Amino acid sequence: MSKPKSLEELFAVRHFDREVIILCVRWYLRYKVSLRDLSEIMAERGLSLAHTTILRWVRRYAPEFVRRWSRFGTPTGQSGRVDETHLKIRGR
């Protein structure tokens, strides 16, 4: 297994700030926003981005984000047991 990269190594030689990259990737993964809509949202904030740029960011950084975020998540759905409730109605 390879050594995890630091944030500086992860975002080295990138044209945009890492906050912009993280924001775009997070919004794309979390919300149902298309790449073109996301580039329009960034244009409203004064950033000129092509939708293909955001696609490259998602392909590059999504696996790393998942790897880092999975450490903090709690596993769910591992129990196969179901609680049963018995009700007595009129003595039955």
Q: Does the pLDDT of residue 77 top 70, yes or no? A: no
The predicted model scores a pTM of: 0.67
Closest alpha carbon to 23 in 10, 42, 5:
42
Report whether pLDDT(71) > 80: no
What pLDDT shows up at residue 39? 94
Residues 6+ apart with CB under 8 A from 47: 16, 20
Convert the pLDDT of each residue in 19-68 to its tens digit: 888 899 999 988 889 999 999 999 999 999 999 999 999 998 888 888 88
